Amino acid sequence: MDLRYGMNPQQQAADVAPVRPGRWPVRVVQGSPSYINMLDALNSWQLVREVSRSLNRPAAASFKHVSPAGAAVAGPVDDVTAELYGVHQDEVGALTSAYLRARDADPKCAYGDFAAVSHPVDAELAELLTRVVCDGIIAPGYAPGTVGTLGKKNGRFLVMEADPAFVPPERETRDNFGLRLAQQRDEVPLAAALLENVVCGALPTTAADDLLLDLVVLRYTQSNSVCCLRDGVTLGIGAGQQSRVDCTRLAGAKADTWWLRRHPAVRALAFRSDVRRQDRINWQIRFIEGDLTPDESTRLSRALSQPSEELTGGLRADWTARLKGVAFVSDGALPFRDNVDHAHRHGVGYVAEPGGSIRSAEVEDACREHQIVLARTGLRLFHH
């Protein structure tokens, strides 16, 4: 299989060959993938396949630069998401709901994403994909006519099909700077049994499902990473940071933004009809962040058909305090209690982490102080 180019356009076009001759885990149905497209496709497909098998529900992911911008299982589409994407929330099919929920987790970062779904693409999802800025999709199949629908979007929209029966080799290898690294593939099942060691509090089934989804998401997210998730939807993913508390603060800030997008003052922003969806999303987020430059303030005013209500610090604090029941998972041991203190500020009620840090007792004490349920998995999930 030929690739358009390597990691960057200046790197000569690469090719891909199966580790086992003749055994391809994926095939290109339409378009020509780049190196990063291929990495996104392989990682995102593994994520949605594992989520669907673990929770027995359709799953979707919105991937950017080899990490998920969002992931979700099928479920209710709230009125904010429905309005943004022009759908009737009571009429959305299961697979489309999973993708809408995944994409809306971080709609700013999902711009130009690579989509992955656990089940064959149907006509409803194909039609939706023609209306959003998405670069490609991977799925285990396509209903008749859907590839043709996706082909009308543009000539470079990438359509890939995964083989759900493919079993990868037990060992993985990677070449880097003249060295070949090899390791055993991480095949530890991510199942409810990992959450049985609850060291404080009581873990309800719904929260356990969210923590399990969290674990799968982090297995395919660039480390260090943490994830905030509620009701089967990622609210904030902090990925690729050198400090774990920076991951926590990043994920928490994204979760707050997701929640504040549901505030009446944000929903009341009256954009002119000619302002595009992505520009509306970006302006909503800048409005929420509240640190607009003078030039941005002017441009936002021009994008609105009427003046906006101020989102004061008091309104913001009152609204974010209503966010509760968030599940939080870390791919590595929490080294200090500051992660718990920050997580508490963003509505976290359930935490799962490997444990084993020299300060794990302090982490447990912090959970008890904040009345947060803590489960120790004993399993690290670094991904690089």
Of 65, 108, 153, 370, which residue is the catalytic one?
Answer: 65
Is 152 annotated as catalytic? no
- Separation CA 123–CA 133 (nearest Å): 18
Q: Say whether domain 190-258+323-376 belongs to CATH 2.102.10.10.
A: no
- Separation CA 275–CA 2 (nearest Å): 39
pLDDT band at 271 (very low <50, low <70, confident <90, very high): very high
For 76-110, b/e burial (b = at least 16 CB within 10 A) is: ebeebbbebbebebeebebbbbbbbbbbbbbbebb
For 276-312, b/e burial (b = at least 16 CB within 10 A) is: ebeebbebbbbbbeeeeeeeeeeebeebeeeeeeebe
pLDDT at 14 exceeding the cut of 90: no
- In this predicted structure, what is the pLDDT of residue 2? 84
Of 37, 43, 64, 254, which residue is the catalytic one?
Answer: 64
pLDDT band at 312 (very low <50, low <70, confident <90, very high): very high
pLDDT band at 151 (very low <50, low <70, confident <90, very high): confident
Is 64 annotated as catalytic? yes
pTM for the whole structure: 0.95
What residues does CATH 3.40.140.20 cover in the chain?
Answer: 26-167, 190-258+323-376
Is 263 annotated as catalytic? no
pLDDT at 281 exceeding the cut of 80: yes
Burial class from Cβ neighbours inside 10 Å (0-12, 13-18, 19+) for residue 338 reads: middle
- In this predicted structure, what is the pLDDT of residue 15? 80
pLDDT at 140 exceeding the cut of 90: yes
Report in angstroms the alpha-carbon separations of 298 from 267, 293, 304, 308: 20, 9, 10, 12
pLDDT band at 191 (very low <50, low <70, confident <90, very high): very high
Kindly report the average pLDDT of the chain as a whole number.
95
Is 342 annotated as catalytic? no
Of 37, 43, 224, 339, which residue is the catalytic one?
Answer: 224
- In this predicted structure, what is the pLDDT of residue 196? 96
Report in angstroms the alpha-carbon separations of 131 from 46, 86, 305: 26, 10, 24
26-167: which CATH number, 3.40.50.300, 3.40.140.20, 3.30.565.10, 1.10.10.2120?
Answer: 3.40.140.20
pLDDT band at 241 (very low <50, low <70, confident <90, very high): very high
